[in-house]
Amino acid sequence: MSEPISIDIWSDIACPWCYIGKRNLEAGLAATAEDDDAPQVRITFHSFELSPDTPVDFDGDEADFLMGHKGMPRAQVEQMLERVTDVARGAGLEYRFDLLQHTNTVKAHELLHHAKSQGRQHDMEERLMSAYFIEGRHVGRIDDLADLAAEIGLDRADAHEALTSGRHLGDVRQDQAQAQAYGIQGVPFFVIDGQYGVSGAQPPEAFANVLRELWAQRAAEVVEA
C-alpha cells in the first residue's frame, strides 16, 4: 500500500477563491474515488492572512473594504463580486456578499489549529467558510468563534480558552513563515506531495489529473521496489 499523497493548502477563510478551490478539490477527489485504484490523500490546511491589518469589526460592507484595499471604484468592485458569485455558484456555493461581515481572521486561524489538535480541522474549515460567505456570521470575535466550534461538536469552553490565551498563535505564525519560505504570495495555494505547487482555484479535472498521475507514479515505484 502506497503512502497517501499529501496536500497542504494555504488559505484564508475570508478568501472567496479559497472556498471555491476547496470545493473544486473535493470534486476532483470525488472523480478519482471511482477509479479502480483510487488515490489516497491526506489534506492539511495552513494559515494565510490576506489582510492582517483589518479590524475585527470593520465599518462597511465587502465593497467598501475592497474599494479601500484595492483602490477600485465601487461599480468595478460590485461587478467583480458578481463574477465571483457566479463562479462560486458553479461550484455549488451560494455566496451572500450582502450579508458578509468583513473582519480580521487571525482568531479564526487559531481556531483551525485548535480544531486540528482535536482531529476536526476539515469540519472547522468548512464551518468557518460557510458561516462567513453564506450565512453572514461574524468569524472574528472569540465568542462567535467558540459558538461555531461548538456547532461541530468541539467543547465550547475549551475553544474559548484556546482563543483567549492565544494558545495556537505560534502555529499560525509558523504556517505563515512556511508560506513565505515557499514564496507564496496569494491563496489558495496547494503544495502536493511537497513538490508540486498549484496556485489558484483550479478546476476539478486539474486536481484529478495531478492526483492520478502522482498515484500512478507511486504504484510504479512500489512495483520496482
Strand ranges for 87-195 from DSSP E = 189-192
Strand ranges for 73-222 from DSSP E = 189-192, 196-199
- The span from the CA of 98 to the CA of 93, in Å, is 15
Q: Please report, in angstroms and rounded to a whole number, the separation of the first and last CA atoms in the chain.
A: 12
* Eight-state DSSP code of residue 183: T
Domain borders along the chain are 5-224
Specify whether the CB–CB gap between 101 and 129 falls below 8 A: no
- In what helix (H) or strand (E) does residue 11 lie, and over which residues does it extend? strand 5-11
pLDDT tens string 107-137: 999 999 999 999 999 999 999 999 999 999 9
CATH superfamily of 5-224: Glutaredoxin (3.40.30.10)
Specify whether the CB–CB gap between 45 and 9 falls below 8 A: yes
Q: What would the grid cell of residue 206 be?
A: 486539474
Q: Grade residue 33 by pLDDT with cuts at 50, 70 and 90.
A: very high
pLDDT at 221: 78
pLDDT at 218: 85
Strand partners, 43: 7
- pLDDT surpassing 70 at residue 183: yes
- pLDDT surpassing 80 at residue 224: no
pLDDT tens string 151-176: 999 999 999 999 999 999 999 999 99
CA distances to 11, 35, 103, 136 from 129, rounded to whole Å, are 11, 30, 13, 10
High-pLDDT (> 70) share of the chain, %:
98
Mean pLDDT, the chain, integer: 95
Q: Supply the pTM of this predicted model.
A: 0.95
High-pLDDT (> 90) share of the chain, %:
91
